[in-house]
Structure 1
């Protein structure tokens, strides 16, 4: 199997929250502040006030920290705009002073890079600190207009305070993650409105020259259709601002669905790793026919129990992957299978959903492999309750327990998966083989639509161990190479890998570099993000 060798120095810091880690980050921060940056910060302070800038070593250490194997990337400073107008000022000053900005909303993309920039020395433009208002909610047409700092928790509370007429589509990630930032990075949820970027409309974007642009019907000033219609006139330009560095999105509407009167979940466990192919074949027709309106999760044993358990060092002495007999003990303890399938139905009442549940139950139990778990049992299970919360639009912290599986290190590998049993089986074999070769556990959740699933691999490692960081970097490269070989590209990518991932795609790079050079010749906005650079 081909491998990519790690071509950059691995910088190892202590775990994310340690004092040693912050001291190391602070020392790196002092080296990253350049003389031309100082003139930029002085100009920003003069325009926006002293509180709009922080270049203290302690703060830069925090903003540079992440959980990735490549080490922390300390910024040159942090700027806190309070409005779209402030962002325009900062972008124009960055052009004048030759500064590169790293826009971020809340920095809660844990295991993807957090607040730290793609390149050390970039100035973090922390939009979420002061731009955190829900600007409007339209219950009749089903949307909320938000700024980058609005979190899933905050939006949930806003909707609850208005009588729970509308339901957000949350993630199973941090409730304090930003709704807008998640959508722009093409994160996703689990309800029928799972496509968070697809649910954005009426974006307000500060371009690299400091001018404001609204794609779609928002391009006509005063349009009453701005938050309602993405189509508009001419080419669809919204996608230019997703997983890119072509502008800074300062507000948008997120479309929301009416909250159902009743939400009833279901789950099935399957006993063996090799059941995955049959599971995918069972799930696909339910999604193609929309018999199940939510996405459906197919969760591996360690991904599920890892939300409550940490790695059992006392049993294994650190051996990875975890032995099969220990995996079986953990899943028996928590009432899950080698795979656990979950979803939910919506309707006017619990009773109205009975017939649908019975049809789904008959569909899975016909395999002779599935054990049914009822809604009432799911409600009581700490491992399974996570799924009910996500199908119900309830932000949950429960899945964050995965981050404690080992010792602070975490990265996500996120390929797509065809909804074809044989293809999913091949992917499982590839992932298990590569992860075992480098000494890591297979922890994955397939989030299934009708034609493709997101294969959410979380790879946990000891970030304070130089050897584990090295192996993790090499493992990620090997996974990318192995999936390239079977024709499955990676999607959403941690900052450690964005530039190298882009180098694999020459035509992508040619076009995006031409766009970048045309609209951002000074490289003001995050050069290197998702591999996009100018000439």
Structure 2
């Protein structure tokens, strides 16, 4: 023993970072490594306070470079946080749940690797965006639908699937319609799932399970590996296509009856695609900014003003939106008859809009349903206002939406609820009560992701530039999650805030996950804090103001 004092841990970590950066520059090129303050701030900005520093940003170009980056991180024990395109708005954007990570966006891994017109599947890397795939499918003749999400067209397909995100269309539960993952571990080892691990197996992109343990699930909502490719199943364009819409009044019992009817239609296979019933706040926020003048600068919206805004825009207290896929026009007419008989007695203004031969240009219904769009992002700008006189602003900026850049406050709380009136009413009542108490509107969409459950997507939208709003939104988020968990409705995915203090079960999952993590990432460098289910206090949550 030399008797010299131990080197401070922060000095050791800085030395390790410098050594890793030196090796990364050699592996991927200095031009693809960013340590300047503007880049770190840009990637470290989210739609809510994150309290986490990013040490550097590295951008590998392919799987081999990514493997080198992971090995370097493990060798120097530098935490590394991979993201796809970093557009995880409302859940943390590109920011990690743990501090002092090096961020690794995979936006340069953006190849469409395979496409099968006959068997309707496509294989993509994590940097492939919704916009890119839509353009690719259009070039191939527009014979398939990809089931895009309501997020930005520049978001990653793979990133959304790995969060088990929701999309439009027949394959709205996106994670249930993918296979053939390729994942790289922190050790540099590569795994291919299902039949894709067998050279020459033609069923790799066609069959989810393969033979032996099914590993795909290990890489969704986890930090056990980095997925570098994935096969997505596509929906063939139907011979006839209908969208249908309806509105509901204030009577909650009507919503109960409609939900029961939707459940029966889903179980019978009549509605085989994603179905959404959104409340009035979501419908209004898609059409205008918050009416500061009419509200007298007060929040949240009063019941009377909500009713006036519903009348102004022709929306209901609840608004249903679904689709029908049919073989031909006659089949479509029969599906419309069945839906009308099931929903018609309970709803207002039930209407259908159809398109035949969607392989061509299609009509407005097809365009709204089949293409990625920024329309749904308008709700994130709901509370933003112009400063002189609080004049009304356009719903979206002229240059396109960027929620992090534009100071939009957005936090998603998305519990899974049984598809029946009693449970949905309990969840909706909790959301209405908690958001009202904290000065927010309950912005709710009931997404029917299966025949038996809905995801109640709840958006807390606010203006981050207003002093105190960050803290108020975080308090509301904390209380919403607490009450919904107590009611028995955990979320289907978590924000980086939720990952800091996740709901805990009564089994041995944390210990088992810990052993898996140690086996697959012995140095513990890959995405620390991501879905680890270890109870910890949230830094600064519910009591700090970080505007």
Query: How much does 1:395 deviate?
Result: 0.8
- TM-superposed CA distance for 1:372, in Å, is 1.4
CA displacement at 1:218 relative to structure 2: 2.1
The structure-2 alpha-carbon separation of the partners of 1:467 and 1:507, relative to structure 1 and needing over 3 Å to count, comes to farther
Return 131-140 or 507-516, whichever deviates more. Answer: 507-516
Partners of 1:32 and 1:110 lie apart in 2 by 34
1:131-185 Cα offsets, whole Å, 9 max, x none, are 1111111111111110111111110110110111221111111111110110011
Alignment of 1:46-445 (within 5 A): 46-68=26-48, 70-71=49-50, 73-128=52-107, 130-272=108-250, 274=252, 275-350=254-329, 352-367=331-346, 369-375=347-353, 392-407=369-384, 408-445=408-445
CA contact (8 A) 1:64 1:72 kept: no
Aligned to 1:447: 447
Which residue number in structure 1 is paired with residue 5 of structure 2? Answer: none
Could you say which residue in structure 2 is the equivalent of 1:38? 18
Counterparts of 1:178 and 1:399, CA distance in 2: 16
What's the offset of the Cα at 1:257?
1.5
Q: Distance in 2 between matches of 1:72 and 1:353?
A: 52
Deviations 1:319-342, CA, capped at 9 Å, x for gaps: 333111211222222221000112
Give a deviation string over 1:176-212, Cα, whole Å, max 9, x none.
1110110011001121111211222111110121111
How far apart are the structure 2 equivalents of 1:33 and 1:397? 41
Structure with the bigger percentage of helix: 1
- Taking structure 1 as the reference length, the TM-score comes to 0.88
How far off is 1:510 after superposition?
2.1
Q: Is the 8 A contact 2:418 2:454 kept in 1?
A: yes
2:544 paired residue number: none
- Contact persistence 1:172–1:397 (CA under 8 A): yes
The equivalent residue for 1:382 is none
Preserved CA contact (<8 Å) 2:196 2:204: yes
Unaligned runs of 5+ in 2: 1-10, 356-362, 385-407, 536-547
d(CA) in 2 for partners of 1:32 and 1:337?
Answer: 60
The alpha-carbon deviation at position 376 of structure 1 amounts to: 7.2
Given that 2:241 and 2:354 are in contact with CA atoms closer than 8 Å, whether structure 1 keeps it comes out as: no
Deviations 1:455-474 (A, max 9, x none): 11011122223422112112
Change (3 A) 1:273 1:501: farther
Contact 1:307–1:399 (8 Å) recurs in 2: yes
SS at the partner of 2:94? coil
Give the alignment's TM-score, normalised by structure 2: 0.86
CA distance in 2, matches of 1:461, 1:86: 40
Q: Match of 1:486?
A: 487
**CA contact under 8 A between 2:416 and 2:455: conserved in structure 1?**
yes
Inter-CA distance 419–74: structure 2 relative to 1 (3 Å threshold): same
2:459: which partner in 1? Answer: 458
SS at match of 1:76: strand
Do the aligned residues in 1 keep the contact of 2:485 with 2:503 (CA within 8 Å)? no
In structure 1, list runs of 5 or more residues that go unmatched.
1-30, 378-384
CA drift at 1:374: 3.2
Distance of 1:520 and 1:236 partners within structure 2 = 19
Post-superposition offset of 1:318:
3.6
The count of corresponding residues between Structure 1 and Structure 2 is 493
Q: In terms of mean alpha carbon deviation, does 354-363 or 77-86 score higher? A: 354-363
Aligned equivalents of 1:217, 1:518: Cα separation in 2: 23
How far apart are residue 125 of structure 1 and its match? 0.8
Shift of 1:476: 1.3
- Residues 205 and 173 of structure 1: is their aligned pair in 2 closer, same or farther, counting only changes over 3 Å? same
1:351 CA drift (Å): 5.3
Query: Is the contact made by 1:205 and 1:247 (CA closer than 8 Å) also made in structure 2?
Result: yes
8 A Cα contact 2:242 2:365, kept in partner: no
- Is the alpha carbon distance of 1:50 and 1:236 closer, same or farther for their aligned partners in structure 2, counting shifts above 3 Å? same
Separation of aligned partners in 2, 1:314 and 1:74: 39
Shift in CA distance, 296/206, structure 1 to aligned 2, threshold 3 Å: same
